[in-house]
Amino acid sequence: MTFKAPFFSTPMVVEAQWLDFNGHLNMAFYNVLFDRGVDQIFDQLGLNAEYRTATGNTTFSAEFHLCYIRELYVSDWVQATFQLLDHDEKSFHFYQELWHEDGWLAATGEGLGLHIDRSGPNVTAMPEDIRANFAKLAEAHSKMRRPERVGRQMGIRRKNRKNRGKINRI
C-alpha cells in the first residue's frame, strides 16, 4: 500500500442542518468533518467495518484539540487532511486540516487515538498487519514538516506575567 503525504479526503459538503444560530457551521460539525476524513484514511489502514466486525476492535479518540481559523457556511465544500505524527502499538498522534475548495484553511485539529478491544473496553495492541500499515504511513509522512500548530497550549495571554497561571476564585 502506498500512502500520500498528507492524506486528503474526498470533498465533503457543509449541510444546512449543521448551521448554528449565527448562520455558520456549528462548532460540533467541524469535528464531524474531521472524523469523516479520518474514516477514509482508516479504511486504507485496514481499520474498516470488516475489521471491526471480525476482531471486535476499534479506535477511540483520547484527546482532540481543534482550532477554528475561518467560518464555513452551508454548501461550502471542504477536504480534510491527515498527517500521522507518531504511533506505537496501541496509539497514534495525528494532525488534520480542513481546506475550503477555494484554497483557504478553515480549521486545524490535533488528536490522540487509541486502539481498543471493545469487549473491555481496553486499550490493546494493533495486529501486525495494521501496525505495518501505520509504519508505511509514518514513513510517507516522515518527510513532511511538523505543523506549527501541533502542541499548542490553550490559555489567556496576559501582559502581567506574575498573574499567569493563577485562578481567581469567586
Q: What is the pLDDT of residues 120-152, one digit of tens each?
A: 999 999 999 999 999 999 999 999 999 999 998
Domain ranges of the chain: 7-146
**Superfamily the domain 7-146 falls into:** Hotdog Thioesterase (3.10.129.10)
C-alpha cell at position 60: 477511540
Task: Indicate the burial class of 129 (C-beta count within 10 angstroms; 0-12, 13-18, 19 or more).
Answer: exposed
With 0.85 as the threshold, say if the pTM is over it.
yes
What is the rounded CA–CA span in Å between residue 95 and residue 59? 16
Q: What is the pLDDT of residues 22-66, one digit of tens each?
A: 999 999 999 999 999 999 999 999 999 999 999 999 999 999 999
H or E stretch covering 7: strand 7-8
